[in-house]
């Protein structure tokens, strides 16, 4: 199906032609788009300690970055030039941001990072840089000039607290207004400068580096390995140098380490846990006075249920991953739980089997799911 916010491409065409390959500008991608929040509400979010935010300042050509939580004083009376406030993870606190993300569900949830919103007064920006992420830059109120370049020279200015390209040579530029959207693949050099007081949403998609994946997999393996045996040397012979590690010792250690094995199933369990793991600052709110199991099911049946905004639910084969934990339910439970993972909600009158009920109740108590429908 052709999608207007992809410039009339079908999701398949977008993936084939643009995803991770080349930029796409879509004028009027979301004609009815309005800011997800007011500037003052964005400032309030930046004052919360469960929300990550940064303030980027340009002072006489020098860059400064400070990290939230901020206080309202940090924004009151701030001169009207050359600064940008960036607030990450707005989808974790605003249902309307989560709803916007659902428009991008033609890309797997496992690739999603978050929805960030920036505000900058005229002249503000974060400098010319590149990201390792795919990003859809959706313009809210105000106008922003975007300059981009396919340049291969991605060297950065040394000694500054943020990534600034040393030699940015813009090749194309556009002024984006409310509802316009620009998709940029990773490593595409770009520079966005606010022309008016300007709000921009960045829908960012993460891509773990091989190094990060390997490091995390080794941590997973450490917790899941069960290797038997103890170093033994009943045939020890006299060594000339007591400080020397002998070849025999080396051989035996190599043999012991050779017992580290992993299979497809380890990779599957690791990946699902890793990709659904909440970021370290994420805290779930448990219900203060939880309902009994019976009342919970009754209410879910009448009102439906939905994933908390912070929850990340994925599945792979017959395993369900919820916020970093793995579950292997039976076929019937898997059918309803995978539906919850895809749609982030279950409509009223879903027929839950006993196993689904038990898991849902457990997740409700942990604050991972809520009753009713997302407001
Ligand atoms: C911004 O919204 O100001 C920055 C987004 C970006 O360039 O990645
Ligand atoms: Co960027």
% residues pLDDT > 70 (the chain): 99
pLDDT at position 349: 77
What's the pLDDT score for residue 373? Answer: 87
Write out pLDDT tens, residues 261-271.
999 999 999 99
Model confidence band, residue 60 (pLDDT cutoffs 50, 70, 90): confident
271 CA from centroid of ligand 2 (Å):
27
**In contact, 325 and 311? CB cutoff 8 Å:** no
Tell me the mean pLDDT in the region 356-361. 96
Show the domains of the chain with their CATH numbers. 4-205 (2.60.120.650), 263-375 (3.40.366.30)
Q: What is the CA angle 167-173-178, rounded to 5?
A: 130
Report yes or no: 284 and 366 within 8 Å, Cβ to Cβ.
Answer: yes
- State the ligand closest to the CA atom of 200: 1
d(CA 205, CA 328): 27
**What pLDDT is stored for residue 240 in this prediction?**
96
The reported pLDDT for the residue numbered 77 is 77
Contact 99, 82 (CB under 8 A): no
Mention every residue, 6+ apart, whose C-beta is less than 8 A from residue 230.
none
Q: Whose CA is nearest to atom 5 of ligand 1?
A: 202
Model confidence at 351, pLDDT cuts 50, 70, 90, reads confident
50 lines ligand 1 (CB under 6 A): no
Residue 323: its pLDDT value, please? 98
| Concatenated DSSP letters of 267-297 | HHHHHHHHHHPPPTT------SSPPPHHHHH
pLDDT bracket for residue 350 (50, 70, 90):
confident
Ligand 1 atom closest to residue 190's alpha carbon, by position in its atom list: 7
pLDDT bucket at 76, cuts 50 / 70 / 90: confident
- Ligand 1 atom closest to the Cα of residue 125 is 3
CA of 118 to the centre of ligand 1 (A): 7
pLDDT at position 374, please?
A: 80
Q: What phi and psi, each to the nearest 5 degrees, are found at residue 125?
A: 180, 175
Q: Which ligand is nearest to the CA of 131?
A: 2
Q: Which residues of 303-316 are buried (b: 16+ CB within 10 A; e: fewer)?
A: ebbbbbbbbbbbbe
Strand ranges in the chain using DSSP code E only, listed in sequence order: 24-26, 53-59, 62-67, 83-87, 112-120, 134-139, 144-149, 172-176, 181-184, 189-194, 198-205, 305-307, 313-316, 319-322, 325-327, 345-346, 369-371
Asked whether residue 352 carries a pLDDT value surpassing 90, the answer given is: no
Identify the DSSP state of 165: B
- What are the pLDDT digits (tens) for 286-333? 999 999 999 999 999 999 999 999 999 999 999 999 999 999 999 999
Measured from the alpha carbon of residue 203, the closest ligand is 1
- Give the pLDDT of residue 284: 97
Which mutation among 86, 113, 117, 197 tests ligand 1's pocket best, with the greatest number of atoms within 8 A of CB?
A: 86
Average pLDDT over residues 133-161: 96
Order across the sheet with 345-346: list the strands. 345-346, 305-307, 369-371
Query: If you measure from the C-alpha of residue 144 to the centroid of ligand 2, how many angstroms do you get, rounded to a whole number?
Result: 13
Half-sphere exposure of 45 (CA within 13 A, CB side): 26
Residue 224 has pLDDT above 80, yes or no: yes
Which secondary structure element, helix H or strand E, spans residue 365, and what is its range? Answer: helix 354-366
CA nearest to 325, candidates 314, 317, 336, 334: 314
Structure tokens at 57: 């300042």
Per-residue pLDDT of 171-216, as tens digits, reads 999 999 999 999 999 999 999 999 999 999 999 999 999 999 999 9
Q: Sign of the C-alpha dihedral, residues 226, 227, 229, 232?
A: negative
Is residue 80 pLDDT above 80, yes or no?
no
Query: How far is residue 311's CA from residue 314's CA, in Å, rounded to a whole number?
Result: 10
With a 6 Å cutoff on the Cβ, whether 353 touches ligand 1 is no
Q: What is the mean pLDDT of the chain?
A: 95
pLDDT at 118 > cutoff 90: yes
Between CA 263 and CA 98 the distance in angstroms is 35
């Amino acid at each position: 199906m052709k999608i207007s916010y992809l410039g009339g491409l079908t999701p398949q065409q977008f993936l084939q032609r643009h995803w991770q390959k080349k930029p796409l500008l879509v004028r009027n991608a979301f004609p009815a788009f309005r800011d997800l929040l007011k500037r003052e509400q964005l400032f309030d979010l930046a004052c919360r300690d469960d929300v990550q935010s940064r303030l980027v300042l340009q002072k006489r050509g020098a860059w400064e970055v400070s990290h939230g939580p901020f206080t309202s004083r940090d924004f009151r009376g701030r001169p009207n030039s050359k600064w940008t406030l960036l607030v990450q993870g707005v989808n974790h606190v605003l249902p309307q941001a989560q709803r916007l993300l659902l428009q991008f569900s033609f890309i797997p949830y496992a690739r999603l990072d978050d929805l960030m919103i920036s505000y900058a007064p005229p002249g503000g920006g974060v400098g010319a840089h590149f990201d390792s992420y795919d990003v859809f830059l959706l313009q809210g109120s105000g106008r922003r000039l975007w300059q981009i370049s396919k340049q291969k020279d991605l060297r950065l200015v040394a000694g500054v607290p943020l990534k600034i390209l040393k030699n940015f040579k813009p090749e194309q530029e556009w002024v984006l207004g409310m509802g316009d959207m620009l998709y940029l693949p990773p490593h595409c050099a770009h520079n966005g400068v606010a022309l008016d007081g300007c709000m921009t949403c960045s829908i960012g998609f993460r891509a773990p580096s091989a190094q990060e994946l390997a490091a995390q997999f080794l941590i997973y393996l450490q917790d899941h390995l069960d290797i038997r045996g103890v170093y033994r040397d009943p045939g020890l012979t006299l060594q000339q140098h007591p400080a020397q590690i002998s070849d025999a010792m080396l051989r035996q250690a190599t043999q012991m380490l050779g017992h580290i094995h992993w299979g497809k199933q380890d990779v599957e369990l690791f990946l699902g846990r890793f990709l659904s793991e909440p970021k370290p600052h994420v805290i779930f709110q448990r219900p203060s006075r939880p309902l009994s199991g019976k009342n919970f099911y009754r209410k879910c049946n009448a009102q439906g249920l939905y994933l908390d905004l912070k929850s990340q639910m994925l599945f792979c084969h017959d395993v369900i991953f919820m916020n970093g934990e793995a579950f292997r339910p039976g076929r019937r439970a898997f059918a309803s739980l995978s539906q919850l993972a895809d749609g982030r909600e279950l409509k009223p009158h879903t027929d839950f089997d006993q196993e689904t009920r038990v898991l849902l109740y457990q997740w409700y108590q942990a604050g991972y799911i809520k009753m009713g429908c997302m407001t």
